[in-house]
Structure 1
Amino acid sequence: MTLFVAVALLAAVVTWLMSLGTLRFALARGIHPPVRERDVHAKPTPRLGGVAMFAGVVAALTAGAFIPQFQAAYAEPHKIVALLCATGFIVTVGVLDDLLDLDWMLKLGAQLVAAGVIAFFVVRITSTPNPFGGIAVGSSQMSIVLTVVTIVLVMNAVNFIDGLDALVAGTTIIGSAAFFAYIWIISRSLGQAEAYFSTASVITAVVVGACVGFLPLNWHKAKMFMGDAGALMVGLLTATAAISVTGQIDLTVLGGRSQILPAFIPVLLPFAILALPLLDFVLAVLRRLLNGQSPFAADRKHLHHRLLDMGHTHLGAVLIFYSWTIVVSVGCLLFLFLDEWVAAGIIALGFLVCAVLTALPVSRRVWHSARRLARLRAAERRARSRRQSKVEAGERR
């Protein structure tokens, strides 16, 4: 565990130092795109944070190659090289998009290329876990297609929610920390250190470190954004780490546990962590297609925009996302330790609390409106009473 923390810390320090340098460079050269209609920030802000995060990822993954305890993850060095090449490519495309606003078809093509590199040279989904043993995906072609589609889906889901300060960085830290905990628990329970455990653990630790290092400059009010470069990179690495375990592990090795839900944790946890980004992605695509638009056309109707429209502050909306992410990610882990009904009850309670917090501004408006209406009606009654009293007094005279 100490070595994983050290690698994450290296990624964080390099990212933070590079973020400071990148921010200074961007401000000195005026590299900050103008504020768009859908943006929620008021002044032009550099979007080159992804470059600094990539530097932290490269430094940490390179350092990991010299740690003997990580040898399982680096047993096939070409996979790490391919991962860095795919990541560097998608970061480059992301930077160009942030600066030049590339056509959506070009961006999608670049995402397919990066995901294809991962599927061909790094890892692919070969089976889907289930309580009774892994189910083979089928042909190698089907495995590649499923892997590419999954990675592209995750990249866009993460990119779609990158609209508020510290939103992607914070939710990634929370979700990836939960995923790392799951990997650690399972690998310790098996008493093994297979390559897919080690690879997923190293990548996840590096992603957490890069997000931690970038968070100080991205916290509200943000001095710099990670941009498409950072969001797509986080999505790519997160998906790769999830596939390294989800598509490889056979859960029958867990000792024949009779619980059904824990057996699905490898599938549920990555999607639970990305529940809100995936929901936002699906809703956005459906909304745009129904309106006759490109599925990648930008608008101001994402979930985080709706939270702001409901009355949440910028920071409040981000914390709402954090709370939902904590409930779904930690909730999945509870199935490894608690009875299924107890874990489900705790998750339900967490959902209820999050729902109340989410609806709080609306509830306040309804409450205030009801109070104003009650005051108006009371004033009307008093006015009618005064008029009636005057009429009665006149009649007596």
Structure 2
Amino acid sequence: MYLLMMLTAAIVSYAATWGARLVGNKLELYSPIRSRDMHSRPISRLGGLGIFAGVLVALVTASTSFFVKDIFRNNTAPWGILAGATVIVLVGVADDLLDLRWWVKLIGQSAAALVVAIWGVRMTIIPFIPEPFVIQNEAVSIVLTAGLIVTTMNAFNFIDGLDGLAAGVAIIGGAAFFLTAYWVHRTAVLLDRSDLATLLTAIVVGSCVGFLPHNWFPSKIFMGDSGAMLIGLLMASAGVVSTGQISSGLYDRANGIPTIIPILLPFAVLFLPLLDLCLAVVRRTALGRSPWSADRGHLHHKLLDIGYSHRSAVVLMYLWTCILAFGGLAFAIFPWHIVLAVDLAAAAIMAVVTAWPYLRQRGPGQIAGTPE
């Protein structure tokens, strides 16, 4: 049933994105081309509406479908998440068309995150070793949840700089997250194996799969802030749901690291976006600029600067996401010391591959012919 909802989201997202392309091009709803942009012709940024259509239709369909409809029984969380998603899509579309000031967009992000935290899902447990820390205060829980969602939305928004990058990262990371959540619930002794986190990640993956053909290089439409922030909100919400299941014993394994698996995987999936976000904040703050001011210093820009082509840079980011996401997934299945060794070896190989164009430029022959 999860795969059926994924397929539903993909079909609707593909068709709706096609419609958004036609509307955006016919009405010439383009944003001005900025110095940091990688395209040279006007392209519509309404792709987030297509992704949202896939999410909306799949979630409503799931509420009346066999097996997964149990998720909605006496549970307002899915509708709270959908309400927050609606708010952030409206904020994103406004920003894509009007280029909102950074503080106005931050207020909109906070509003959407608070909607999710109040009426959707919220953090109740912070994973620690050996015992998780239980959040007793409701206000603290709401603030922490909203903060996590806003951070994740901005992280995804920051990596949306190359054709197909954000959508592909969401597909790869969401697939790893989906497999983990699904495997945990299928192997657990439960009467009801339906799970909101599994459903959300399935829908996110499906919607991005439907969108990606329109966004692959050379892109015909961008997801814009509406799409990137929507993906971040849904991924963060799924992470909050899985984190709340720590005390249930679902993630207990003798050969794994049980207490941190629910929080490890979302951060492994989002490691590249979060790393890019942190580096951008430090870089811009050090220059005396606002952390939300735009520049051309993101990770994908650096890959282009050292010699990678547009497609090669995107594929390289995909490979890093695979290592981090599925490397995190492996901790829930295989002995941790074996997984750690394999992950470190894969990361070391990828580090050399990533830096190879730069190392080749700085090789002995290059340096010998360069004046001091």
The answer, yes or no, to whether TM exceeds 0.5 is yes
**Is 1:245–2:242 an aligned residue pair?**
yes
- Counterpart in the other structure of 1:229: 226
TM-score where L is the length of structure 2: 0.95
What CA deviation, in whole Å up to 9, does each residue of 1:132-153 have, x standing for no partner? 5542023111111110110000
Counterpart in 1 of 2:36? 38
Map Cα deviations across residues 222-280 of structure 1 (whole Å, 9 max, x no partner). Answer: 0000000000000001101110111333264555x444624311111100111111011
Corresponding residue for 2:67? 69
Corresponding residue for 1:198? 195
1:370 to 336, 341, 365: 365
Alignment check: 8 A CA contact 1:72 1:193 kept: no
CA distance in 1, matches of 2:191, 2:108: 34
Partner of 2:10: 12
Q: Cα–Cα, structure 1 residues 253 and 232, in superposed 2: closer, same or farther, change >3 Å?
A: closer
Distance 1:68 1:260 in 2: 33
| Percent identity of paired positions between Structure 1 and Structure 2 | 41
1:339 aligns with 2:335: yes
CA gap 1:253/1:231 in 2 versus in 1, 3 angstroms: closer
Shift of 1:364: 2.4
1:119-130 residue pairs with structure 2 within 5 A? 119-130=117-128
Shift of residue 184, structure 1, vs aligned partner: 1.1
1:11-56 deviation digits (Å, cap 9, x = unpaired): 1111111111111111111112221101011211110000111111
Q: Is the 8 A contact 1:179 1:270 kept in 2?
A: yes
**What residue in structure 2 maps to residue 379 of structure 1?**
none
Unaligned runs of 5+ in 2: none
Partner of 2:53: 55
- Find the counterpart in structure 2 of residue 216 from structure 1: 213
Name the counterpart of 2:274. Answer: 278
The Cα of 1:129 is off from its aligned counterpart by: 3.4
Task: State the secondary structure of the residue aligned to 1:30.
Answer: coil
Question: Aligned partners of 2:212, 2:256: CA distance in 1, in Å?
Answer: 37
Instruction: Please tell me whether the aligned partners of residues 261 and 335 of structure 1 are also in contact (alpha carbons under 8 angstroms).
Output: yes
Q: 1:321 aligned to 2:317?
A: yes
Q: Determine which of 100, 107, 110 is the counterpart of 1:109.
A: 107
CA distance in 2, matches of 1:230, 1:254: 31
* Gap regions ≥5 residues in structure 1: 377-397
1:86 to partner: Cα distance = 1.3
Task: Report the secondary structure of 1:292's partner residue.
Answer: coil
**Per-residue deviation, 1:77:** 5.3
| 1:99-146 superposed Cα distances (whole Å, 9 cap, x missing partner) | 110011111011111110111111100012356554202311111111
Shift of 1:57: 0.7
**TM-score normalised by length of structure 1:** 0.89
* Distance in 2 (alpha carbons) for counterparts of 1:166 and 1:120: 33
Structure 2: distance between partners of 1:193 and 1:54: 32
Return the alpha-carbon distance in structure 2 between the equivalents of residues 129 and 33 of structure 1: 42
Q: Which has the higher helix share?
A: 1
Which of 1 and 2 has greater Rg? 1
**What is the Cα deviation at residue 338 of structure 1?**
2.4
Aligned length: 371
